Structure 1
Amino acid sequence: ALYRKVNLIEFKQSLIDTSKQIGAVMFILAGARIFGYVMTIQRVPDLFTVWMTGFTQNRIIVLLLVNIALLFLGMFMNSSTILILTIPILQPLLSSYGVDMVHFGVVMTLNVMIGMLTPPLGVT
């Protein structure tokens, strides 16, 4: 298949399939943009940060709660969806606790990967 020639019909079908996939991704990104706008207007990240800092001042407890939440979300949702939904909420929270964002990115990736491997869905 590597050296095979592509005829016009196969090329047309591949363009149609690619357009469908790109359309689905663009629909997800548009929804994420609307979600982010509504969250910004409603000040959800700020309110969540204030609530969590009132709950605990310990950075380790906050990271533990975030890890548990990401593992749980990873059991039921796709990784890109989790990233789109949770980063705008968790980034201000973890920045207020002094957590390095590279550390957060690695922890988030590992938790989502582990969550996606566990039942009930085990999508990966």
Structure 2
Amino acid sequence: MAGCERRADRGFVTAESAMVLPVLAMFAMALVWGLLVVAAQIRCVDAARAGARAAARQDPPDAVVEVIREAAPPGARVTVSREAAQVRVIVEARPPVLRGLPFDLREEAVAAVEETMGAAT
């Protein structure tokens, strides 16, 4: 009788594997996508900070935008504004791979404007 039970259980391992493997693959893909989103968020942080530093030094506007674009994820939207003695840089990007998701990555950096010691007038 014990031999009969073993023969009946033979296909369960295959069926369980067929159910578990796709779930594990989807879980692994979700982890990789999550890491890509975190990396893109870090790039937004770096780009906003670098742009705020460049704008605070009163670099030319084209140079500030170029510094931001080099550090930002591809296709990121950049906003640079000046408010009295502060500069504000906002970097917004879509999450990588699954761009149809209903959220954006957004980072903002603010820096105090540095006084420049230029040539005497």
Which is helix-richer, 1 or 2?
A: 1
Structure with greater strand percent: 2
Query: What TM-score, normalized by structure 1, do the two folds share?
Result: 0.35
Larger radius of gyration: 2
Structure with more relative contact order (C-alpha pairs < 8 Å, separation 6 or more)? 1
